[in-house]
Amino acid sequence: MSLKAEVSMALTAALETAINTYLQMDPETLKRLADFSDKVIAIELQDTGISLYCLPQAQGMTIMSHYQGDADTTISGRPVSLAKLTILNDTQVMFAGEVTISGDVELGQDFKKLLENIDIDWEEHLSQVTGDIIAHKTGHAIREMAAWWRNNSKRAQQNGREYLQEEVQIIPDKEEVEAFFAGVETLRDDAARLAARISQLASSRADDKPKD
Amino acid sequence: MNDKTTHFGYEDVSWDEKQGKVAGVFHSVAQKYDIMNDLMSMGVHRLWKRLTIELSGVRKGQRVLDIAGGTGDLAAKFSRLVGPEGEVILADINDSMLKVGRDRLADKGIAGNIQFVQANAQCLPFADDHFDCITIAFGLRNVTDKDEALRSMYRVLKPGGQLMVLEFSKPTVKALNPIYDTYSFKILPFIGKLVTNDAESYQYLAESIRMHPDQETLKEMMEKAGFSQCQYHNLTAGIVALHRGFKI
């Protein structure tokens, strides 16, 4: 048991430390974690056999890899889908069924919302090290860069897509893709109807054959 | 007066003397106990304790007794696991360690379901069949009469409950022994002198580990005390072992 168990403990401990270090930077979120202090939230990483159990409390989060009791909520999905949900806030993964919440669904959603609303005052933390003036100027520069990226990345994506669709025509546009899929659906339904018809004819022919 | 002798590290002392001598060690180290644990084990003690908690199976509403719980790191985790309907008792024979534990948990805001009890593991002051889980981490080797302590733990454990003993043991990789001995008898007392100005206490620590029963012997002692389905897990090549037994 020894080495594998100790490595697993080391990884869980590292994850717990990283999460708590992050949470310590937002005292408001820490206070709100107290609302979940008697709850257990399980996160099931599908296809890995790994489950993690989060036990929030006002002091931070305890993360365990084994828990004997019943979790109040289980959030289940492939690691990539869970990452999309938590890091990119891509809620489509839930509608597409890639991530499911079972048990107390409202608890799962409230917990997810709590984590999304973590608001770390990075400027305040930086000012402890560099002083207020440098922290403010750094914060201002980062906010400007982030705004430039938000404005220009969308335009860059759009320009790229239009170039590939309209100029070199190596990828279809949205309408063409939808028409193609509609055609595939129709062909599938027609094939199913044909198969049913053939089956019906074969069985009525077998019934018509004289019995010896 | 008890004429029997026992060991205090490598020293033979009378039975009655050992408790006082151990008390002296822990009064001395209490304030820097956690820092020293981190330094001595390079932080690995936290993984050993984490594994103990995960394998304990403790859950909401249960009652846990943490013996020789000292500075409260296990009790803090159990407090969260058992929740407001559960109960955690942090018991220690040494009041200096208990005070450090109580202050530490209070500073973290962990309260409500934890009680602090100064108690001797050999005669636990609790009702029969009371606890779902009992843990004793790095405490059993300091107990004068280990058999009596194990019987006392058996008495206060509920039927179906589990005892977990986390303790230094005998390395399973013989090649490690020279390194382990050098580390224990040269480096640890040196760190003890630097950090706490108390090399002797850490000399005792190293000696008491060598005098503690090995894995199989401790398992047999637990079975003799009444525990069933006893097993142990070697951690870090047997430097530490986690023994488990049930009251059936």
B158 in contact with A at a CB cutoff of 8 Å?
no
The pLDDT of residue A195 is 92
Residue of A nearest to B172 (CA): A2
Q: How far apart are CA B228 and CA B247, in angstroms?
A: 6
Q: Strands across the sheet with A60-64, in order?
A: A60-64, A50-57, A41-45, A73-77, A99-103
pTM beyond 0.80: the answer is no
- Return the percentage of chain B with pLDDT > 90, whole number: 52
What is the distance in angstroms between the Cα of A15 and the nearest Cα belonging to chain B?
13
Q: Give per-residue pLDDT as tens, A26-51.
A: 888 888 888 888 899 998 888 888 88
B111 in contact with A at a CB cutoff of 8 Å?
no
Residue of A nearest to B83 (CA): A38
More confident: B185 or B99: B99
B219 in contact with A at a CB cutoff of 8 Å?
no
Residue of A nearest to B106 (CA): A59
CA-to-CA dists, residue A38 to A61, A135, B83, angstroms: 12, 38, 6
Q: Is ipTM strictly over 0.85?
A: no
Judged by CB atoms closer than 8 Å, whether chains meet at B59 and A9 is answered as no
> Averaged over A146-166, what is the pLDDT?
76
* Among A144, A105, A137, A113, CA closest to A123: A137
What is the distance in angstroms between the Cα of A70 and the nearest Cα belonging to chain B?
9
Chain A residues lying within 8 Å of B108, measured CB to CB: 59
Judged by CB atoms closer than 8 Å, whether chains meet at A1 and B83 is answered as no
pLDDT higher than threshold 80 for residue B34:
no
A201 in contact with B at a CB cutoff of 8 Å?
no
From the list A13, A55, A64, the residue facing B46 with the nearest CB is A13
The pLDDT of residue B109 is 87
The pLDDT of residue B17 is 75
Judged by CB atoms closer than 8 Å, whether chains meet at B237 and A69 is answered as no
**Would you call A88 helix, strand, or coil by DSSP?**
coil
Range with the lowest mean pLDDT among A15-24, A145-154, A177-186, B84-93? A145-154
B81 in contact with A at a CB cutoff of 8 Å?
yes
Which H/E stretch holds residue A176? helix A174-208
Q: How far apart are CA B102 and CA B100, in angstroms?
A: 6
Residue of A nearest to B82 (CA): A38
Judged by CB atoms closer than 8 Å, whether chains meet at A65 and B54 is answered as yes
**Would you call A130 helix, strand, or coil by DSSP?**
helix
B195 in contact with A at a CB cutoff of 8 Å?
no
Average pLDDT, chain A: 79
Chain B residues lying within 8 Å of A33, measured CB to CB: none
Identity (one letter) of the amino acid at A32? R
Q: How far apart are CA A87 and CA A84, in angstroms?
A: 6
* Cβ within 8 Å of A, B 50-79: 50-51, 53-55, 57-60, 77
Residue of A nearest to B47 (CA): A9
Q: Give per-residue pLDDT as tens, B191-224.
A: 777 777 777 777 778 778 888 899 999 999 999 9
Q: How far apart are CA A118 and CA A110, in angstroms?
A: 13
Residue listed under structure tokens 């008792």: B89
- Inter-residue long-range contacts of A35-39, CB under 8 Å, 24+ positions, other chains counted: A36/A107, A36/A110, A36/A111, A36/A114, A37/B80, A38/B60, A38/B83, A38/B84, A39/A72, A39/A73, A39/A104, A39/A107, A39/A111
Judged by CB atoms closer than 8 Å, whether chains meet at B108 and A59 is answered as yes
Q: How far apart are CA B41 and CA B205, in angstroms?
A: 13
B159 in contact with A at a CB cutoff of 8 Å?
no
Q: How many CA atoms lie within 13 A of B118 on its CB side?
A: 9
